[in-house]
Amino acid sequence: WVQLSTLPPEPVIPSKKPFKVELVGGKRYSWCTCGHSKKQPFCDGAHKTKAQGLSPLRFVPEKDATAWLCGCKYTNNPPYCDGTHKQDFVISAPLHEQTDS
Ligand code: FES
């Protein structure tokens, strides 16, 4: 028996645009990193079955703020959108359809 890969899975792309959210200062958030959550841009636990090896990014904003959270999952400044969704590799990638299976 050979383990084929020990690398964590690549995220799928649930949205090619960021999500505008009103963050509450001091509150704990879990930003979905795997793309499988149905509660985008936040984690719903889907990584436990669909993307083992990935885990959500937990963050606590210092104060109330309007933020654009990355929906493509390829930002270099997670959880915030940094414009990476405008790059060709995201534009040409398939959009992930959320399914129940
Ligand atoms: S939505 Fe991912 S970088 Fe903008």
Q: Which atom of ligand 1 is nearest to the CA of 84?
A: 3
pLDDT in tens, 74-97: 999 999 999 999 999 999 999 998
User: Angle at CA 63, nearest 5°, toward 62 and 69?
Assistant: 85
Residues having CB closer than 6 A to ligand 1 are: 17-18, 70-72, 74-75, 81-85
Mean pLDDT value across residues 4-33: 92
Q: Hey, CA dihedral for 86, 49, 54, 31, is it positive or negative?
A: positive
Instruction: Output the pLDDT for position 101.
Output: 56
What is the whole-number distance in angstroms between the Cα of residue 78 and the centre of ligand 1? Answer: 9
Tokens 């964590």 appear where?
8
Mean pLDDT of the chain: 93
Parse the chain into domains and list their residue ranges.
19-91
pLDDT in tens, 56-66: 999 999 999 99
Tokens 């958030």 appear where?
29
Question: How far is the C-alpha of 76 from the C-alpha of 48, rounded, in Å?
Answer: 23
- pLDDT above 70 coverage of the chain, percent: 91
